[in-house]
Amino acid sequence: MSKHIFAIFSDEDVLMENIKPLRAKGVKIKDVFSPFPVHGMDHALGLKSSRISICAFLYGMTGLGLAILMTRYMMITDWPMDIGGKPSFEWYKNVPAFVPVLFESTIFCAAHGMVLTFYLRSKILPGVTAFVPDLRMTDDKFVMQVELKDESTESEVTALLKAHGAEEVKEYGK
């Protein structure tokens, strides 16, 4: 595994301004850890946009489909009930009364499916040990993780990072 070093910044604007020139100079930025979401960071790092809202839509459609099947089976197929002489043999004639249940099931599946996907994809789960290069990164520091192609370039890259606003450059656990 190649070696990684961590550059600490204390201003998100300084960090953002320097991502582009650093990348242009061939510095391989693996990730940036920040105490809060910094707008435009994903684009600056060249991350693909998240597809999680598409997942939410698909989960929502699944929830709606399941609710349609459930109301159809329980109220029409299995045990049609005569309630005030209203039609009970066709789903589509009953559907106005089922709208609340269809809606709630859609939201239920979309919300929980999306959040579970987020937790699993981002590996945030109970019992996971956090990867914390610097303890201040959840407080007020911004940490840039840089991969070194060659260990011999470490001093060179460190100097470059410091020239581009990094306050310290360190290794993991040190």
Torsion, Cα 117 46 3 22, to 10 degrees, reads -150
By beta-carbon proximity to other proteins, the closer residue of 34 and 153 is: 34
18 is an interface residue for other proteins by CB under 8 A: no
Spatial separation of the C-alpha atoms in residues 149 and 25, rounded to whole Å: 13
81 is an interface residue for other proteins by CB under 8 A: yes
First to last CA, the chain: 18
Q: Residue length, the chain? A: 174
What distance lies between CA 102 and its chain's CA centroid? 27
- Mark the segment that binds other proteins (CB under 8 A) among 20-28, 81-89, 147-155, 158-166: 81-89
Q: What residues from 112 to 171 belong to the interface with other proteins (CB under 8 A)?
A: 112, 114-115, 118-119, 121-132, 135-140
Total site size for other proteins, rule CB under 8 A: 64
Q: Where are the beta strands (DSSP E) in 3-134?
A: 4-9, 28-33
User: Which one of 20, 61, 93, 97 is in contact with other proteins (CB under 8 A)?
Assistant: 97
79 is an interface residue for other proteins by CB under 8 A: yes
Spatial separation of the C-alpha atoms in residues 56 and 59, rounded to whole Å: 5
Least distance from other proteins to the Cβ atom of residue 152, Å: 27
The 10 Å Cβ neighbour count of residue 98 is 17
Q: Which residues sit at the interface with other proteins, rule CB under 8 A?
A: 12-13, 31-39, 41-42, 45, 47, 49-50, 52-53, 56, 70-71, 74-75, 78-79, 81, 83, 86, 94, 97-98, 100-101, 103-105, 107-108, 110-112, 114-115, 118-119, 121-132, 135-140
